[in-house]
Amino acid sequence: MTKLAFELLSLENNVFKAYLFWTAFLVLKMLFMSLITGFMRFRTMTFINEEDLLDKRLKVKYNDPHVERARRAHRNDLENILPFFTIGFLYVLLDPNATLAINLFRAVGISRIIHTIVYAIAPVPQPSRLLAFLVPVCATTYMAYEVVRAVY
């Protein structure tokens, strides 16, 4: 017997609760990335808008490597976390195995945190960033496959 949508989208469903937790956590993480970028701008005095210059002797700058690294990490979040939000929600509607689903959500969340650390905060050599990138991509791809498979 299949569960109804309102049963799946309730706090009684541990899969949905895990999805809500990791989604909220990743939203906070993306907001934190904006703060990191701003911090890097102030630390390096790199501002791209003339009105943001704190001292009129400063010049507009576009290519500080620290600021650009933070921006790239943030963009990478947007490119990878937003699809997870959609596919994760659809995956919850499939009433998947709870242990598998919860661990997929954890893997995505933890890997995205590690990705930010090894990319934007304390860069380390590859393959650390690649691994932190591939784990959530594989998890999201698996969930997307399961959703497609369920409807065909």
pLDDT digits (tens, 9 = 90+) for 8-52: 988 999 999 999 999 999 999 999 999 999 898 888 888 878 787
Peptide bond into 65 cis (omega under 30): no
Between 46-60, 71-85, 96-110, the lowest mean confidence (pLDDT) is in: 46-60
Rounded Cα gap, residues 46 and 59, in angstroms: 8
More confident residue, 125 or 1: 125
Asked if residue 14 is part of any domain, the answer here is yes
Asked if residue 71 is part of any domain, the answer here is yes
Asked if residue 127 is part of any domain, the answer here is yes
Domain span at 43? 10-151
Asked if residue 5 is part of any domain, the answer here is no
Asked if residue 3 is part of any domain, the answer here is no
Q: What is the total count of domains within the chain?
A: 1
More confident residue, 62 or 1: 62
Q: What percent of the chain has pLDDT over 90?
A: 72
Asked if residue 2 is part of any domain, the answer here is no
Contacts of 112 (CB under 8 A, 6+ apart): 26, 29, 77, 80, 81, 132, 136
Q: What is the pLDDT of residue 46?
A: 80
pLDDT digits (tens, 9 = 90+) for 80-100: 999 999 999 999 999 999 999
Mean pLDDT, residues 98-109 taken together = 98
CA dihedral 105, 88, 94, 134 (to 10 degrees): -60
Asked if residue 4 is part of any domain, the answer here is no
Q: Which residues of 96-112 are buried (b: 16+ CB within 10 A; e: fewer)?
A: beeeebbebbebbbebb
From the number of C-beta atoms within 10 Å of its C-beta (0-12, 13-18, 19+), residue 17 rates as middle
> What CATH number is given to the structural domain containing 60?
1.20.120.550
Q: Is the pLDDT of residue 101 over 90?
A: yes
Asked if residue 141 is part of any domain, the answer here is yes
Identify the CA nearest to 37 among candidates 58, 60, 66, 61.
Answer: 66
